[in-house]
Amino acid sequence: MNPTERRPILRQQDGAFLPSVDDFAEEVHVTLTTEAGHRVSVLATPQDLDTFALGHATTEGWWDGSGKPPSAVHGTDEFGHTIHLHDGTGWGPVKESRFILPSCGGCGEQLSAPPPGHRFSGGLPVPPSVIVDGLHSMKEHQALFRATGGVHAAALFAGHGDLVVREDIGRHTALDKAVGAWLLAEMDEPPTTLLLSGRCGWDLMAKVVRLGLKQVACVGAMSNQAAMLARDHGILVMGFATKTNPQFVGPWSDVPTKA
């Protein structure tokens, strides 16, 4: 499915407004359900919906990551797209049904510490210079951003070179898609670092905790709640990562201090 739509616009040139066209990132309603009774509705970009479904189930604690990944069945309803996950094991507790906007991955959630997970644990933090290289590599895979300027990207990166990048209008949905893509690719080793094209708030850090990741880097800032959650769970976060003076929160593996 083409995740962009070409629409008429006006452009200002030499003091005049001239008719033109431009590409817009598509935004659709997606309802995700599981055989265990989980249900959530999101606004998302209509590509990589299988990976979104699997990733969301993992980052939100619906599925514990054990055994064969559940299968996804696509459909439509009066609102838009539907995805149903079935044939899975290790389903977690069912929360209330929620509607999530692109900018609020934690809408309706209490800012309490989520239960830590271990699906992506085991990777060792990599040096800042390697992270910056990874962020530059991520940009090369952001085709939808180059076309529209209207989406976020998330990438899972391993120190030995593996990189999985996904884009979406929502920061949290891009992260879910990257997680699902990594799982479906059946990588031999866990990722070491999550790379984010924008800022990192509590909702994204909560997903990191549930995954068991120990390193995050974001092009933008981190929120106070994200920083506190990272400290509590021993996660090293690099904010403003592409600048000459990035900020760090969390433990360095080779330095006996904690920011």
Evaluate whether 62 touches 92 at the Cβ level (below 8 Å): yes
Domain membership of residue 171 (yes or no) is yes
Q: Is residue 146 part of a domain?
A: yes
In the 8-state DSSP scheme, what is residue 188? S
Averaged over successive runs of 10 residues, the pLDDT of the chain (259 residues) comes to 86 93 94 95 95 96 88 95 94 78 58 83 86 91 93 91 93 96 89 95 95 95 95 94 93 53
132 and 211, same domain (yes or no)? yes
**CA–CA separation, 70 and 41 (whole Å):** 19
pLDDT of residue 105: 60
Token readout for 27 is 């935004």
Tokens of 199: 């800022």
- Give the pLDDT score at 258: 47
Number of domains in the chain: 2
Report the C-alpha gap between 245 and 93 in whole angstroms: 42
**Residue 162 carries which DSSP code?**
-
Are 192 and 237 in the same domain?
yes
The whole-angstrom separation of Cα 41 and Cα 60 is: 13
Structural domain that includes position 78: 28-100
Indicate whether 106 belongs to any domain. Answer: no
The set of catalytic residues is 104
In the listed set 51, 84, 100, which residue is the last one of a domain according to the structure? 100
